[in-house]
Structure 1
Amino acid sequence: MNQESEASFSEELEKQGIDGSLVLGHPSGLFVLFFTEMWERFSFYGMRVLLINFLTSAIISGSPFSGWGWDPVQAGALYGTYAMLLYITPIFGGIVADKYLGYRYAVVVGAAIMTLGHLFMAFDTPLFLYLGLGALVLGTGFFKPNMTSILSEMYKKFPQKKDGAYTIFYMGVNSGAFFGMMLCGYLGEKVGWHWGFGLAGIFMFLGTLQFWFAKPIFGKVGDPPSKELAAEKAAAVNTDLPEDKPNPFTKLDSILIFVMTVLGLGFAFNDPLSKIAGVDLLENFQIGSMAGQNVAILIALVLFLFVVISRLARYTKVVRDRLIAVIIFAFFVVFFWMSFEQGASSLVIFARENVDRSLSGSSLTIFNIINTLLTVVPLALVTYVVVLLTKKTYGKAPLSNVVQFVCFAGVWAVALWMLYNEFTAESSEITVSWFSIMNSFFIITFANFVSKIWDSKYNPPATFKYGLGLIIMAIGFGLLAFGAYGIQDGIKVSMVWLILAYMFHTLGELCLSPVGLSYVSKLVPARMIGFMFGMWYLAIAIGNKLAAIIGGQIEVITKQYSLSTFFLIFTIVPIVAGLLVMMLHPVIKKLMHGVK
């Protein structure tokens, strides 16, 4: 962007009451959102990478490394419900923000609740763990949907710059995940669980303050909704669909949605209750040998299909066909996340129990050099952005910049302490959490390359992107199955297999994940966007729950068959799903009615 166009862009921002200071060609407000999201993801992933490890670690009386000694089935049941609810509460948080709070206040409320949740987690007692997870679910419901809503509103009059803005924002997500898993994971595994959970809470609190003090930068963006804005949204139509007509929910629709919601949530809560506490709230639903909670979720699924089919029948042909295309995409998303999210459950246990993580001598030196570059280079780049932002905004939001300085001083201190400890050790065991940072690292490494392919003449249709995403991810599990083939008790796998698996999982994610939401926005009428995004997140929630349930079976399947067999499940199922969605290309292309 040349100086003249930058000046014009800055003037347009000022007319909207937004700070016109530009950082790397974008409004300073974008980078406030970048860092707010970064610290939230730092906290979220820093806690997440420790949770399954903590729950399944051995009980060591009086030790800061004492876990709860749960088996993977119990840990998977709790984590699965937590992950599932994380994708459901944003549906309601977005509605509350749209109608009452406004996006900015919703973000602050969500961040404050999450800060409280992380504080609870630091005590790692049963009561506080459950309170903490509950607060994180509730807080995420307010925070997650409204950060992107602020960004979208800020760029409302600059659609040509929105793609670049989302790319920068996505880097904030991955930077936070990278440093959170690295530093919280290191503290948790090397010093004590309290420290890892506590560090996540500290940065969530500082990130909240940083965003709150930056209010002058945003002007009226994200303010509570006015009557005029509400009327404008209500009148929104899809100009591509002149025949699109309202299809209000009938009384029967509403009743069935209520019943299926109760049954679905009943399953979600009953699963950990029955496996951890032995309390089965749905035992009266049992039919023969089928558990009551499984009967309940099957009934909910049947009701869901009935409501979807009956509503689709009431739409005009073009709208109906395009909605069917979205539903097909959502169906295959379940298989992707069911496999991909093993990174939060079974792969944590695999890394701890079955991967050779011990290093000494020259191998330790090489690892320390690589780890230093992985830590210092991205941290230096992000710090440079902080300096640029501070130069532009210190006069308007000084307190926000002071908090940001404290945040980065803290991260640098913990990172340098970690590196010093590893360089001065004669031998070391790589933390389990270190492998989880590979996903964020490979996203940052390959995201630009993949996006260039999508922008070129080689850009494949959506069905092939989905198929490639599923198949490429499956290759990662195939490598793990090969690496674990024939190993016996006491023998461990080289860490190379796990690193390669994460690389293929990430490439699969880059093929599939960004495409989904894009096609929802293209195929769905404007007035239904919120509802269909809710459907999309519901599919991801189901995938997360299935991932935890199946991942919790790692020890059971390994004992009955082999570790290689366990990984083959996540190799074969996604490959079959990937081939199937590619074979459906002619059908889905017809259903999309010209949408590219």
Structure 2
Amino acid sequence: MSSDAPVDARAPGQKTFFGHPRALSTLFLTEMWERFSFYGMRAILVLYLTASVAEDGLGISESTANAVYGTYNAMVYLMALPGGWVADRLLGARRSVLWGGVVIAAGHYVMAIPARWSVFAGMTLIVLGTGLLKPNISTMVGGLYDRDSPRRDAGFSIFYMGINLGAFIAPLITGFLGEKVNWHLGFGAAAIGMTFGVLQYVLGRRNLGDTGDRPADPLLGADRRRALTRIGVAVLVLLLVLAVLAVADLFTVNTVVNSLTIATVVITIGYFARIITDREISSTERSRMKAYLWLFVFAAAFWLIYDQAGSVLNLFAADRTDRDVLGFTFPASWLQSVNPILIIIGAPLAALLWLRLGHRVSTPVKFAVGLVLNGLSFVLMAAAAQAAVGGDLVSPWWLVAVYAIQVAGELSLSPVGLSATTKLAPVKYASQMMGLWFLATAVGDAVGGQVARLAETWPEPTYFLAFGLASVALGLGAVMFTRHISRLMAGIH
């Protein structure tokens, strides 16, 4: 039997999960707990990095902390590429998800250790584990259905709800524990959440049937040994480089962050060059990839601003907002729960809107709307920052409004981008294109981490207004190129 044979939820005696294969509940809960751990840790990361040593933090400058945060997010998405390859060629999706979850949990437990080194060692493990789990669990969800099943999209919608449910709950728990009790206790809560995810995944494996049980295109014999040898050599070279940097006293946080940012951009350029110059793809496919390059740049620019919610905006929440409610000062990280709850509310409405509009609004225009809304959110933040000049605390409702505008932009761009990725992909690279879409987030976050350094040196109103207007201008420019991009898409809407 094929390893991706779909599980039939309608078979006699087969238990279902909201009318879907029972296996979906196992994957739903695994992803929910993984996102709980990811967003729970992320909600307090920058706050911990910038907290003074007297407050049990690391006392890192805001500019460096913002860059670390952006690079960390970038590496999570960048590792989806090798993570997908490992599943396809070596382990299979099921074992990749299991080992990914174990490594993620280990990373969070390391971060729970009250030592200065633990945060960076833990983040490294989380990045590696997420690279194994994140892309492959989505592949397994797809494996539960026939390709043309009308229930497939509904299944992914339920799965998507799990992502945002975990992201909503996490900051409320880790934020309270981290900010009010102890930072490492907050990281420990994220570790426990991921442990729950791994345990229920193991207990629910009987529901999965053969889904993801074997690699889709396994390496065998000499090819497998050659691949493992190359991986081993690459790891040794990396360790050697790190050792040289350490000996030369160059192994600093900023050196690592800057190097990873450059690597992310270079890898992305190389990836696009490889596909577009491939002589085996047709002229139509090459044209569509050129259109996709435009969309990729727009998406990267979008995430550059959007993902500053956990860094620059999180620090603004901590330092510039009045969070006192009836004598209780709620944790700044609680505002990180606003985004996912708004997505849960808005996603069905956005899906209905795009269904009603049909092909009357093209993909490039939807991307442009996302960029404009994202920019307007930062223009609004400029007004909030101006109101806080002089040390006045502003209402947290400013941030709620900013997040609401950003979520509207995300729902205009993100799901549309996922769909465009699958439609514009050359046949030869169909299985790799989702990794390329993740690279847009990686590039946006990596460059955004560097851009966010300016938030400490520029006046806050100037920072938000400059990048907000830049995003609006890029969105309006995208509208001007809509016809050109649509022609390059060669019949794809």
TM-score range, shorter chain: 0.7 to 0.9
Superposition pairs for residues 34-433 of structure 1, below 5 Å? Answer: 34-60=28-54, 65-156=55-146, 159-225=149-215, 230=217, 277=252, 300=266, 304=270, 307-308=273-274, 311=277, 315-360=281-326, 427-433=327-333
C-alpha contact 1:346 1:552 (8 A) present in aligned 2: no
Per the alignment, residue 362 of structure 2 pairs with: 461
1:548 aligns with 2:445: no
- Following TM superposition, by how much is the alpha carbon of 1:223 offset from its aligned partner in structure 2, in angstroms? 0.5
1:500-532 Cα offsets, whole Å, 9 max, x none, are 001101111111011112111111133302333
1:141 maps to amino acid: G
Change (3 A) 1:106 1:10: closer
2:485 maps to amino acid: I
In 1, the alpha carbon distance for the partners of 2:26 and 2:293 equals 35
- Following TM superposition, by how much is the alpha carbon of 1:308 offset from its aligned partner in structure 2, in angstroms? 4.8
1:590 maps to amino acid: R
Secondary structure, aligned partner of 2:313: helix
Structure ID, larger Rg: 1
- Following TM superposition, by how much is the alpha carbon of 1:68 offset from its aligned partner in structure 2, in angstroms? 1.3
- Following TM superposition, by how much is the alpha carbon of 1:279 offset from its aligned partner in structure 2, in angstroms? 7.7
Per the alignment, residue 595 of structure 1 pairs with: 492
- Following TM superposition, by how much is the alpha carbon of 1:495 offset from its aligned partner in structure 2, in angstroms? 1.4
Secondary structure, aligned partner of 1:455: helix
Change (3 A) 1:473 1:306: closer
Secondary structure, aligned partner of 2:53: coil
Superposition pairs for residues 452-491 of structure 1, below 5 Å? Answer: 452-457=352-357, 460-485=361-386, 487-491=388-392
Per the alignment, residue 245 of structure 1 pairs with: none
TM-score of the superposition, structure 2-length normalised? 0.87
1:78 maps to amino acid: V
C-alpha contact 1:523 1:592 (8 A) present in aligned 2: yes
1:181-217 Cα offsets, whole Å, 9 max, x none, are 1111111111111211111001101110100111111
Change (3 A) 1:531 1:11: closer
Per the alignment, residue 221 of structure 2 pairs with: none
State the number of aligned residues. Answer: 466
Secondary structure, aligned partner of 2:328: strand
- Following TM superposition, by how much is the alpha carbon of 1:330 offset from its aligned partner in structure 2, in angstroms? 0.5
1:79-138 Cα offsets, whole Å, 9 max, x none, are 222111111111111111112211111100000000100000111422222210110011
In 2, the alpha carbon distance for the partners of 1:103 and 1:568 equals 44
Unaligned runs of 5+ in 1: 1-8, 232-258, 283-291, 361-426
C-alpha contact 2:379 2:468 (8 A) present in aligned 1: yes
In 2, the alpha carbon distance for the partners of 1:452 and 1:295 equals 38
1:522 aligns with 2:401: no
Per the alignment, residue 234 of structure 1 pairs with: none
C-alpha contact 2:370 2:409 (8 A) present in aligned 1: yes
- Following TM superposition, by how much is the alpha carbon of 1:442 offset from its aligned partner in structure 2, in angstroms? 0.6
Secondary structure, aligned partner of 1:224: coil
Secondary structure, aligned partner of 2:143: helix
1:585 aligns with 2:482: yes
- Following TM superposition, by how much is the alpha carbon of 1:20 offset from its aligned partner in structure 2, in angstroms? 2.5
C-alpha contact 2:74 2:442 (8 A) present in aligned 1: yes
In 1, the alpha carbon distance for the partners of 2:102 and 2:334 equals 28
Match of 2:26 among 29, 32, 44: 32
Unaligned runs of 5+ in 2: 1-5, 219-233
1:545-581 Cα offsets, whole Å, 9 max, x none, are 12222223212112xxxx2111112311111111111
CA RMSD of aligned residues (A): 3.1
In 1, the alpha carbon distance for the partners of 2:121 and 2:343 equals 32
1:138-184 Cα offsets, whole Å, 9 max, x none, are 10111001101111111135521111011110000000000011111
2:157 maps to amino acid: T
C-alpha contact 1:10 1:20 (8 A) present in aligned 2: no
Change (3 A) 1:279 1:564: closer
Per the alignment, residue 436 of structure 1 pairs with: 336
1:494 aligns with 2:395: yes
- Following TM superposition, by how much is the alpha carbon of 1:334 offset from its aligned partner in structure 2, in angstroms? 1.1
- Following TM superposition, by how much is the alpha carbon of 1:276 offset from its aligned partner in structure 2, in angstroms? 8.6
C-alpha contact 2:7 2:208 (8 A) present in aligned 1: no
2:116 maps to amino acid: P
Change (3 A) 1:94 1:298: closer
C-alpha contact 1:36 1:207 (8 A) present in aligned 2: yes
In 2, the alpha carbon distance for the partners of 1:339 and 1:296 equals 19
In 1, the alpha carbon distance for the partners of 2:481 and 2:40 equals 39
In 2, the alpha carbon distance for the partners of 1:40 and 1:298 equals 24
2:328 maps to amino acid: S
Bigger RCO of structures 1 and 2 (CA < 8 A, at least 6 apart): 2
In 2, the alpha carbon distance for the partners of 1:210 and 1:437 equals 24
Per the alignment, residue 368 of structure 1 pairs with: none
Moved more, 186-195 or 72-81: 72-81
In 1, the alpha carbon distance for the partners of 2:210 and 2:272 equals 43
Per the alignment, residue 374 of structure 1 pairs with: none
In 1, the alpha carbon distance for the partners of 2:174 and 2:393 equals 25
C-alpha contact 1:10 1:21 (8 A) present in aligned 2: no
Match of 1:445 among 342, 345, 348: 345
- Following TM superposition, by how much is the alpha carbon of 1:300 offset from its aligned partner in structure 2, in angstroms? 3.9
C-alpha contact 2:276 2:289 (8 A) present in aligned 1: no
C-alpha contact 2:264 2:446 (8 A) present in aligned 1: no
In 1, the alpha carbon distance for the partners of 2:114 and 2:101 equals 20
C-alpha contact 1:116 1:135 (8 A) present in aligned 2: yes
C-alpha contact 1:72 1:552 (8 A) present in aligned 2: yes
1:436-467 Cα offsets, whole Å, 9 max, x none, are 11100110111111110011136521011101
